[in-house]
Amino acid sequence: MTRRQAIEAGSAAAAAMVASGALAQGPAPVEKGQPMPEGVTLPSAPPPSPRPGSVGFAIIGLGDYALKQIMPRFAQSQRCHIAALVSGNPQKLAQVGEAYGVPVSARYSYENFAEIAANEGVEAVYIILPTGLHAEWAERAFAAGKHVMCEKPMALSAAECSAMIAASERANRKLMIGYRCHFEPYNRTAMELAASGKLGDLRLIRTEHSYRLGPDTPATNWRIARAQTGGGPLEDYGIYGLQAALYLSGEMPERLSASAFRPEGDPRFAEVFAHVAVQMHFPSGAVAQVVTSYDSAGINMVEARGTEGALRMHPATGYLGNTLVLETGRERRTLEPGDSEVQFGAMLDHLAAAIREGTPIITPGEMGLRDLRLMEAIYASAASGRSVALNPDGTMRG
């Protein structure tokens, strides 16, 4: 996909940016082949041989999340192993390949990726690239006959998500989105509690996911380059709050209103928003407020309040150390349902089960599509200053 097509694909965010007076597209965003991220610890010894029946994954994109979170957690998966790597930086590829015991013959560049079709040891591809590249590489992975795990957000637009789902169907291969919180014990317990009626009727959900971006520009950080990221903090971090609002309410909103803000003269926000605030109304009468920012002190928080009690999670959707407090009447209980870290291995094994036994995927491409539809509605509301009515599938009504 060209840069122009990527911008057009992210048209909802782009329309809202134009409405906010954003500058014209700046210099080209960062390229493939980035150096080894700071603070990566590579394994001191290659992993043991995979168990019989284990699903071999190719990792595409050896960046921060791949090297610090996902790749080390394959050791906790029961049914998956790293079988191949794809990178635009030959030095990093060699170093990471040695550390993870990936043979030279299973180390690919973006240019020779199509050769992976002949590698029977690779059954799935895990896409951990900047968002603007997800659709293109998912389609290439399906064309090579592989299953796909794709990082969040699924893509830049609902149109790209639909194309990815169609490619997965044509190839008869699985498509799963790396929405790890669905496999995380604190979030799973919160879902169960919210659905159990223990909180009474759910009335108010509040989520906040914010951090302060460094002194970057769109030319040095893809997260603030519109062609690679969309509108900014909502796709990157606020998506966790949007997801939580949906999995705790168990409903789709019937109406939403949103505002998005971009300060003038700050190079970080030449192409993306600094803050996005969303209010969603659910058919049950519950309301969710989802707030996200790239320019305020860090917070990762979810609260759900019903007529009889409340859940408080702070941090709520982290890699490790999430917390959950249940308040009912005069009681305040701190729950400890398990180690947050198991989310990674459980997520990988979920795709392995879908591949081997045909079990349904709980975070399929359709969920990623739903979320992109909602984001398009959010940007449409922010651009128009009006609330937007929604169909049950998240598309805008009328």
> Which residue numbers are catalytic?
152, 240
SS3 helix, strand, coil % of the chain, rounded to 5? 40, 25, 40
Nearer to ligand NAD, 47 or 63 (CB): 63
Residue 37 Cβ vs ligand NAD, minimum distance, rounded to whole Å? 6
d(CA 177, CA 136) in angstroms, rounded, equals 15
d(CA 19, CA 157) in angstroms, rounded, equals 18
Q: How many residues does the chain have?
A: 398
Nearer to ligand NAD, 142 or 222 (CB): 222
Residue 269 Cβ vs ligand NAD, minimum distance, rounded to whole Å? 19
d(CA 290, CA 113) in angstroms, rounded, equals 39
209: its two tokens:
């996911």
Residue of 107, 180, 206, 312 interacting with ligand NAD (CB under 6 A): 180
Write out the E strands in the chain.
Answer: 55-60, 80-86, 107-108, 124-127, 147-150, 175-177, 202-212, 255-261, 275-281, 287-293, 295-306, 309-313, 324-328, 331-335, 388-389
CA distances for 341 relative to 31, 45, 76, 337, 348, angstroms: 31, 21, 9, 12, 13
Tell me: does residue 34 bind ligand NAD (CB under 6 A): yes
d(CA 354, CA 55) in angstroms, rounded, equals 11
Tell me: does residue 243 bind ligand NAD (CB under 6 A): no
Residue 218 Cβ vs ligand NAD, minimum distance, rounded to whole Å? 11
327: its two tokens:
């308040």
Nearer to ligand NAD, 156 or 304 (CB): 156
Tell me: does residue 238 bind ligand NAD (CB under 6 A): no
Tell me: does residue 241 bind ligand NAD (CB under 6 A): no
d(CA 67, CA 180) in angstroms, rounded, equals 16
d(CA 3, CA 156) in angstroms, rounded, equals 12
Tell me: does residue 222 bind ligand NAD (CB under 6 A): yes
Residue type, 46: P
DSSP at 291: E
Tell me: does residue 3 bind ligand NAD (CB under 6 A): no
Nearer to ligand NAD, 56 or 61 (CB): 61
Q: Which stretch binds ligand NAD (CB under 6 A): 33-41, 292-300, 345-353, 381-389?
A: 33-41
Ranges within 116-155 binding ligand NAD (CB under 6 A)? 128-131, 133, 151-152
Nearer to ligand NAD, 110 or 261 (CB): 110
Residue of 8, 64, 254, 341 interacting with ligand NAD (CB under 6 A): 64
Residue 65 Cβ vs ligand NAD, minimum distance, rounded to whole Å? 3
Tell me: does residue 31 bind ligand NAD (CB under 6 A): yes
Tell me: does residue 255 bind ligand NAD (CB under 6 A): no
Tell me: does residue 364 bind ligand NAD (CB under 6 A): no
Q: Which stretch binds ligand NAD (CB under 6 A): 38-46, 58-66, 251-259, 358-366?
A: 58-66
Nearer to ligand NAD, 32 or 255 (CB): 32
Residue of 26, 33, 43, 309 interacting with ligand NAD (CB under 6 A): 33
d(CA 159, CA 144) in angstroms, rounded, equals 22
Q: What is the largest CA-CA distance in the chain?
A: 62
364: its two tokens:
């399929």
Tell me: does residue 94 bind ligand NAD (CB under 6 A): no
With CB under 6 A as the rule, give the number of residues binding ligand NAD.
24
Nearer to ligand NAD, 88 or 267 (CB): 88
Tell me: does residue 30 bind ligand NAD (CB under 6 A): yes
The sign of the CA dihedral 155, 270, 209, 37 is positive
Task: List residues near ligand NAD by CB under 6 A.
Answer: 30-34, 37, 61-66, 88, 128-131, 133, 151-152, 178, 180, 222, 236
